A and B are shown apart, each in its own frame.
Chain A
Amino acid sequence: MFYREAGDFKTSYMDDSETFPIRFDRYRYYFVLFAAFAVVPFLLNDYWVNAVLLPFLIYSIAAIGLNILVGYCGQVSLGTGGFMAVGAYACYKLMTGFPDVNIFFHIILAGAVTAGVCVIFGLPSLRIKGFYLAVATLAAQFFLVWLFNRVPWFYNYSASGQISSPERTIFGFPVTGAETAPWTAYLFCLVFTVASAIIARNLTRGMAGRKWMAIRDMDIAAEIIGVNPLRAKLSAFAISGFFVGIAGALFFSVYLGAVEVGEVFGINKSFLVLFMVIIGGLGSIFGSFAGAAFLVLLPVFLKNLLVGIMGWPTDLAAHLEFIIVGGLIVLFLIVEPHGLAQLWRLAKEKLRLWPFPH
């Protein structure tokens, strides 16, 4: 079966605004969903889940969140690590404060709390733009990490200053804590990732997304045709914060289990997610996945290659890994500044005519 749109007629405007307008794409999407939900859980082991799949799924959510803010609405944020920390701590406080409520709702509520915090730190965006806004969000990053370190209430006065997630179950299967099976953790995160992607896609192809992109492309023109800049920007901060908060909550509760805020949610995290968004492609949901996959898989792949296959010492491999990943990022930005999503788009354009390009 070729990648074709010929003969694939649209008979309603609803069909035309579908996420995957080409039939082949649509089938591939269903296939990926089916494989992710029904095939992968039977194949995975502990290593795959902890080294690859969980970080990929969780970073994808964070990247989608940041992409809405940076890629769609054009508001640069360097506070992602701090906002993930808000999600993590909100989730922790909710889990310990209301142990009877299902963790599923805790994570969503943690997202909502983060959305609120994000809106507060988004208020300066109404006055400042570009680099200056980035610096303002940087302040959020440092302030939030400081706050969670210094105020014992947030970590329930524990002696170590860490937060660690108690065991919680869904339908009787533990999803957090030491007893969690790899496949339950995987499926739990997968549900959130898929839901986030669908919601983000729906928002960005509708009026909300158009308002954000209008603000991004030319804020004065957006205002003149009736976009309220205050509401558009703050709603982007809220939605972005919601996803980033969910990612932070999952990162803490399901993936790591125990967190020391300065170490896990430091400025490095902000840059990592920002790199994912830039490498994957600004303003593209697929790009968020691609960027997350690239930056999660590449180190794992390099480590396996250098240590496992070529037998180099671990410390040397670890340093080389930094050099190679850094070099690739630079190379990438030079060769294709619009990211992996753009490469994918170009490949699809070519495929539409392949194998007869004339």
Chain B
Amino acid sequence: MANGVRAQAAAGGGIVGDVVLEMENIILRFGGVTAIKDISFDIRRGEIRAIIGPNGAGKSSMLNVISGFYHPQEGQIWYKGRERPAMKPYEVALQGIARTFQNIALFEGMTVLDNIMTGRIRQMKSGLLAQALWKGKAEREETENRESVERIIDFLEIQHIRKTPVGRLPYGLKKRVELARALAAEPSILLLDEPMAGMNVEEKEDMSRFVLDVNDEFGTTIVLIEHDMGVVMDLSDRVVVMDYGRKIGDGTPDEVRRNQDVIDAYLGVSHD
């Protein structure tokens, strides 16, 4: 079904799935600097939505607004049809928005398995006492969640490093573990901040495949920041283009590619 969505979207047709997250007139200031200037866009269920733009355009700030790190001075965020009040990042996470970071943010001292299990925090609710005795609900939860974590481990092909401390892993695998940890939360929206940064072509292809598979198989809504234009145009259903904190384009990859403002921002304008 997700394939169908993309096909339709790519063809420039109507978009399937209702709106999950809507940003409305977001303005974010740091002192005198306005990082995000009155931006609105929406994210629909099951789509891959990319945010692109030159350096300093405000893409990461936008992601940080969505994940609750920054609180915009003006504007509303609508999540699943309800207006979202200012929330702490962990509350946003518990609502079902997971993310990865541009520079990996894994727990270096823990094993891969423990890292991914930590992602299941939303699903594990047993109290301290039950955990202390390792009986009843605590034990049951541990097994059930281990099963779903193992499914993700299989999916991302990291079985062989399950019990390895994350600190010992190479960069590409760390990126994959971070994706696994975000996926383990079974998020409604998955935010990926430059998932292919610093990768070679082969690793990029692997990662792109995983992103598409995640979208296909779990139907996860994905919001993606990426610099590699080829990757973005191939992967995403719809693209938001930002420049100097403004939205200068929004639409399918084809529409965006034809947009004169976008071409100007990326290629420069001749002043004659």
Task: Enumerate chain A interface residues (CB-CB to B < 8 A).
Answer: 12-14, 16-17, 199, 202-203, 206-208, 210-211, 213-214, 216-218, 220-229, 235, 239, 283
Contact = CB atoms under 8 A, between A and B. Distances in A.
A226 B107 contact: no
B181 interface: yes
A222 B110 CA distance: 12
A213 B146 contact: no
B101 interface: yes
B124 A202 contact: no
Given A224-B89, A225-B93, A207 B110 contact: no
B110 A214 contact: yes
Given A13-B143, A17-B146, A225-B118, A213 B107 contact: yes
B221 to A, nearest CB: 17
Interface stretch (B12-20, B125-133, B256-264): B125-133
Given A213-B114, A221-B101, A224-B99, A235 B128 contact: yes
28 contacts: A13-B143, A13-B146, A14-B139, A203-B131, A206-B131, A206-B138, A207-B124, A207-B126, A210-B110, A210-B114, A211-B118, A213-B107, A213-B109, A214-B118, A216-B107, A216-B109, A217-B106, A217-B108, A217-B110, A218-B107, A218-B108, A220-B105, A221-B107, A222-B107, A224-B99, A225-B181, A227-B118, A235-B128
A226 B93 contact: yes
Given A207-B124, A208-B128, A224 B142 contact: no
Contacts of B5: none
Interface in B60-119: 67, 69, 88-90, 93-94, 98-99, 101, 105-110, 114, 117-119
B134 interface: yes
A207 B107 contact: no
A218 to B, nearest CB: 6
B105 A202 contact: no
A203 B69 CA distance: 30
B179 interface: no
A283 B108 CA distance: 13
Contacts of A207: 117-118, 121, 124, 126, 131, 138, 141-142
Nearest to B150: A13
B143 A210 contact: no
B147 A227 contact: no
A225 B146 contact: no
Contacts of A224: 67, 69, 89-90, 93, 99, 101, 105
A223 B107 CA distance: 12
B132 A283 contact: no
Contact of B107 (A12, A202, A217): A217
A12 B94 CA distance: 29
Given A17-B142, A217-B110, A223 B131 contact: no
Contacts of B106: 217-218, 221
Nearest to B67: A224
Contacts of A223: 88-90, 93
Binding site of A, secondary structure by majority: helix, strand, loop or mixed? helix
B185 interface: yes
A227 B119 CA distance: 9
A229 B107 CA distance: 15
Given A207-B124, A226-B90, A217 B109 contact: yes
Most A C-beta atoms less than 10 A away, residue of B108, B110, B181? B110
A356 B131 CA distance: 40
B29 interface: no
Contacts of B209: none
Contacts of A239: 128
B143 A213 contact: no
Contacts of A12: 143
Contacts of B119: 225
A226 B147 CA distance: 20
B122 interface: yes
B153 to A, nearest CB: 12
Nearest to A220: B105
A239 B122 CA distance: 22
Nearest to A282: B109
Contacts of B141: 207
Contacts of B110: 210, 213-214, 217
A214 B105 CA distance: 10
A95 to B, nearest CB: 25
A220 B104 CA distance: 12
B113 to A, nearest CB: 9
Given A14-B142, A210-B110, A216-B109, 19 more contacts: A13-B150, A14-B139, A17-B146, A199-B133, A206-B131, A206-B138, A207-B124, A207-B141, A213-B107, A213-B110, A213-B114, A222-B107, A224-B101, A225-B118, A225-B121, A226-B90, A226-B93, A226-B122, A239-B128
